[in-house]
C-alpha cells in the first residue's frame, strides 16, 4: 500500500530537526533513521509496512511539495504534545528511505529544498486531496518515487 500524507511546514521542520539531531526523548525511543509524523485519529490506511510520501503544504518561502518517502512503522498512541501546530494523538514513525534534495543539507532553509512540486504531481496524475492521508495507486507511487531524487 502507498499513501500520501499531508502536513504543515512548521510540523515537518520540527520533526526534521529531531530526525537529524535526535534531540527529544521521544525520537530516542526509535532507531536512527526514523522520522516522526502524526495523525488526528486511527484509520484503516495507517498500517505498519505501508509506503508513505509526505507532502508539505505551500507557505511563504516554500512552494509546497513531496519532501520525504519511507516505510511506516507501527503506529502508536501519543499522550504528549510533540508538534508546534495542532494535536496529533497518533504517532506515525516512518523509516526514511529518501528525502528531497536539499532537505537534510539545509534543514533550516526550506527555500533551498527541491521537493516534487504540485505541478510535477499533476503531470503524473496525482491530485493532492484535502484529507490528511490518501491512498496512491502503485503505478503513480512508483512514478512519484522516480521524481524524488
Span 66-78, pLDDT tens digits: 999 999 999 999 9
Question: Cα–Cα distance between 77 and 87 in angstroms, integer?
Answer: 12
CB 111: neighbour CB atoms within 10 A?
A: 9
Question: Cα–Cα distance between 80 and 16 in angstroms, integer?
Answer: 18
Write out pLDDT tens, residues 38-67.
Answer: 998 877 789 999 999 999 999 888 889 999
The second-level CATH assignment, the architecture, of 2-147 is Roll (3.10)
Nearest to 110 by CA among 35, 38, 11: 11
For residue 22, what pLDDT is reported?
96
For residue 61, what pLDDT is reported?
83
Nearest to 15 by CA among 63, 78, 136, 149: 78
pTM, to two decimals = 0.94
For residue 58, what pLDDT is reported?
92
Amino acid at each position: 500500500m502507498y499513501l500520501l500524507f499531508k502536513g504543515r511546514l512548521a510540523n515537518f521542520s520540527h520533526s526534521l530537526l529531531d530526525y537529524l539531531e535526535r534531540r527529544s526523548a521521544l525520537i530516542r525511543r526509535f532507531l536512527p533513521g526514523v522520522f516522526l509524523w502524526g495523525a488526528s485519529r486511527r484509520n484503516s490506511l495507517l498500517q505498519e509496512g505501508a509506503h508513505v510520501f509526505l507532502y508539505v503544504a505551500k507557505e511563504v518561502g516554500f512552494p509546497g511539495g513531496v519532501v520525504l518517502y519511507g516505510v511506516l512503522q507501527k503506529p502508536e498512541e501519543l499522550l504528549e504534545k510533540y508538534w508546534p501546530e495542532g494535536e496529533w494523538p497518533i504517532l506515525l514513525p516512518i523509516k526514511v528511505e529518501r528525502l528531497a534534495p536539499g532537505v537534510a543539507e539545509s534543514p533550516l532553509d526550506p527555500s533551498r529544498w527541491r521537493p516534487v512540486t504540485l505541478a510535477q504531481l499533476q503531470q503524473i496524475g496525482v491530485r493532492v486531496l484535502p484529507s490528511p492521508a490518501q491512498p496512491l495507486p502503485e503505478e503513480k507511487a512508483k512514478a512519484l518515487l522516480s521524481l524524488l531524487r
